[in-house]
A and B are shown apart, each in its own frame.
Chain A
Amino acid sequence: MIQLKNLSREFQVGNQVVHALDAIDLSISQGDYVSIMGVSGCGKTTLLNILGLLDTPSSGDYILSGINTSEMNDDEMANIRSTKIGFIFQSFHLIPRLTAAENVEIPMILAGHSQKMRAEKVAKALARVNLTDRSDHRPEQLSGGERQRVAIARSIVMEPEVLLADEPTGNLDSTSGSEIVELIEELNQGGLTLILVTHDKEIGKRSNRVIRLLDGKIIFNQTQQGI
């Protein structure tokens, strides 16, 4: 479902050109569990941003579900982000003034869904991450792991096809970190395509496929036997 063809992303920094991604070829199929690894600055976040349509490549093609994304305008990309893609970040990115339930509700609000449908799906998503009893709490009243679970609930409430996670355990202790990983792996087993940026070799080993980047190039791309 995801196909990258000779894709590059360059940044102009002063009079220097940084090749954050350099002629990447990659295809990921539906339901895959891919971990992206590599040293700091190798281009992992940049790759994830391009996959999530937050960033656009300098050259090359990104074909998503058969559509070349370079032909999309801003609104079409926003639509895809809304309906097909879920994001999870290292720093959670919850809106502090809103409760857990309201944070989860935002993607549905933006999509213009009805109150009734929203209440239903928000409750379902919060139940999925085991936070039903915390739905009225604000982010500052939640632990790091709970915050990330709220963020996961928010990412799945629109029932996307792909979940993009950028070091989701980076700010968490190992116990809550592994809870989060188990949770998103369960989601993957439910059919969600999971693309996970991580520094953690253990997590890397559990994925079906490891992609290793160095200086914007794929240096390792291997499917491994299941968990």
Chain B
Amino acid sequence: MKFSDLLFLAFSSLIRYPLRTMMLLIATSIGVMAVILLTAVGEGARDYITSEFRDLGTNLIIVIPGKHETSGGGGPADFAGLAPRDLTVEDAISLRQIDTIKAIAPIVLGEMPASFGGFERDVPVIGTTPEFLRVRRWEMREGDFLPGVTLDRSPPVCAIGKEVEKELFGTSRAIGQWLRVGDRRCRVTGIIDSDGRAIGIDVQKIVVMPVSLVTALFNRPSLFRIIAEAESRIYMDQIKKDIIRIIKKRHQGKEDITVVRQDTVMASFDNIFNVLTMALASIASISLFVAGILIMNVMLVAVSQRQSEIGLLKAIGAKNRQISNLFLTEAILLSGSGAILGLILGHSITLSLKTIFPTYNFLPPTWASVVSLFVALICGALFGLIPARRAAKLDPVIALSGEK
């Protein structure tokens, strides 16, 4: 029997029982769809978290206040931000003694009302140094980022995001204007061109000011974190040790900071999310197995319903293998088209979710599509095997006499 004929015969019986076929298609497609959706959520979560770090420059070391027992490799707990002791601008300055560090960018975060003319709005304020621009790989649309600012010099200047510019200054030129932030005033020296997010904040909405100005503004010396850029990758572990040693000495011998390498953080996030996505994928695969069992049961019913047809096929010369191939093909055709339907559904739903929730990424990984298609096909084949065997083993005499 030719393969195309096998397909034709299998297909003809699938369209003969449309309800049954629809039911099985839906069952399989739900399984595949679940795999696509859940892995899309997992991958989206990974992207959401790691994009934060991915956008950063290379060779970065991040110093976070607080010491966590689990921080050996630098897991996500390091970012929980529980700070038992302040990390200060002076701590950042002290790191200058490490000469393999190329740049130091301290970060202070907060929210303050910013106003110009009659307009006022609450804005996220970041206090840092010019190095932050390179570390974050931001582009300036206009002007300078924080001219003349260093760790210990804080002229009253600021850079603003595009949205801040638009909302506070409208069509008038922002550069050179004095912006009031809290009870301070600073001159706008640059407009940041980038969009996206930094430390979870929309870049277009921020105001960036010299670090010491912001600590004074919030009346709180503590830094959110310090980012240090190494001259080269090879110094990074040594720099980590030096940072811990220096800060420990400054903090009365207590090791109350966590120092992580940006690349290891990326790697461990990747691991965590790989595990998460795999777990989600395997949960979803269970529904594929359920669909497989459903296919098996329905095919078993089909075998007994179509006894006389099987008997007839044998009478006109069908070999046992041909009979079992016929039923197997039906099962695989069912699970295969169900899987394709599920892929279409899964991908169109993730696409529509993307448009509904643009801030959250739904990224169905390619492997999920490939794997779920194969798992569905294998399920169809495995669970189709038992009914196919049963059909092939049917005694033609009994099958023919069964019913008309």
Contact = CB atoms under 8 A, between A and B. Distances in A.
A107 B317 contact: yes
Given A95-B312, A97-B13, A158 B319 contact: no
Contacts of A154: 316
Interface stretch (A81-89, A176-184, A195-203): A81-89
Q: Interface SS of chain B: helix, strand, loop or mixed? A: helix
B268 interface: no
A178 B5 CA distance: 35
Contact of B314 (A54, A83, A91, A97): A54
B380 interface: no
B317 A83 contact: yes
A214 interface: no
A54 B315 contact: yes
A75 B404 contact: no
B319 A106 contact: no
A55 B319 CA distance: 14
A89 B400 contact: yes
A98 B400 CA distance: 18
B316 A82 contact: yes
A106 B316 contact: yes
Interface in A93-132: 93, 95-98, 102, 106-107, 109-112
A74 interface: yes
A57 interface: no
B396 interface: yes
B370 interface: no
A79 interface: yes
Contact of A93 (B1, B12, B308): B308
B327 to A, nearest CB: 14
Contacts of A92: 404
Contacts of B397: 49, 54-55
A55 B397 CA distance: 7
A78 interface: yes
Nearest to B316: A107
Contact of A78 (B2, B13, B314, B404): B314
Residue picked from A52, A87, A102, most chain B C-beta under 10 Å:
A87
B139 to A, nearest CB: 65
Contacts of B322: 110
A82 B397 CA distance: 16
Given A54-B397, A110-B322, A95 B309 contact: yes
Contact of B316 (A55, A74, A87, A112): A87
Interface of B: 1-2, 5, 9, 12-13, 15-16, 308-309, 311-322, 396-397, 400-401, 404
Interface of A: 45, 49, 52, 54-55, 74-75, 78-79, 81-83, 87, 89, 91-93, 95-98, 102, 106-107, 109-112, 154-155, 158
Sorted nearest first, the 6 A-B pairs with minimum C-beta distance are: A82-B317, A97-B16, A91-B404, A93-B312, A78-B319, A107-B316
